[in-house]
Chain A
Amino acid sequence: AQTVTQSQPEMSVQEAETVTLSCTYDTSESDYYLFWYKQPPSRQMILVIRQEAYKQQNATENRFSVNFQKAAKSFSLKISDSQLGDAAMYFCAYGNDYKLSFGAGTTVTVRA
């Protein structure tokens, strides 16, 4: 089974500043997919960004970008210009067949 590790249980960021969430994973596969999901207090898991392992270019979605280091098996998420609405729990997930393996999550608080 794949292991996904998020080493930061909590992160705090000032509004309009940048925060980076770390994620590492363990796999022997060469082709797989990585995801960041956001879970606000409403419990609804929302896809933030996804990365295909065969692509070298880092994925970007508006204020969200990733730093994908395949050799290091690292997949960090950068949130730029943080907004109050970004406050949530963020989960890193690994998928290569049908099911996703999730990390334990990082709670992000945004200070006004």
Chain B
Amino acid sequence: GAGVSQSPSNKVTEKGKDVELRCDPISGHTALYWYRQSLGQGLEFLIYFQGNSAPDKSGLPSDRFSAERTGGSVSTLTIQRTQQEDSAVYLCASSAAPSGSETQYFGPGTRLLVL
């Protein structure tokens, strides 16, 4: 089937506004991950879902960040009261199972710019 998709592809917002980023994983993949990639940097783990539950939220940088997953499929990452330091590419990945042996397949990311 199709790969991981993310929307929007690009998002420009004003400081203080809320934004929602969407991820559609590969059909049948139970594990879903959010990463953040700041300019010229590696990927920083944000949160991981197994089904609809999030066993590990340790990477979320502040309480302005939240994420949910419904129906074991689509996930939404919400950033409230955006700050300029939130500007980055947000990447979503999914894998067939939550295991280090499983390959994570990535979406094309959402580039967020906070003015």
Question: Which residues of A come within 8 Å of B, CB atoms?
Answer: 4, 32-33, 35, 37, 42-47, 50, 52, 91, 93, 95-105
B103 within 8 A of A: yes
* CA A44 to CA B9, docked complex, whole Å: 11
Identify which of A32, A42, A103 contacts B42 (C-beta below 8 A).
A103
Other-chain contact of A52, B41, B56, B89, B101 (Cβ < 8 Å): B101
The answer to whether B89 touches A43, judged by C-beta atoms less than 8 angstroms apart, is yes
Assign chain B's interface to a size class.
20 to 34
Show the binding face of B for A, using Cβ within 8 Å: 31, 33, 35, 40-45, 48, 50, 56, 59, 89, 91, 93, 98-101, 103-109, 111
Q: How long is the Cα–Cα vector from A96 to B105 in the complex, in angstroms?
A: 16
A50-B102 Cα distance, complex, nearest whole Å: 10
Please name the residue on chain B nearest to A50 by beta carbon: B103
Chain B residues with Cβ under 8 A from A32's Cβ?
100
Residue of B with least CB distance to A94: B100
Check A98 against B91 for contact (C-beta < 8 Å): no
B45 and A101 within 8 A (CB): yes
Shortest distance from the beta carbon of B4 to any chain A beta carbon, whole Å: 9
Interface centre among A33, A37, A42, A43 (most CB of B within 10 A): A43
Q: Known: A98-B31, A99-B48. Contact between A47 and B42, CB under 8 A?
A: no
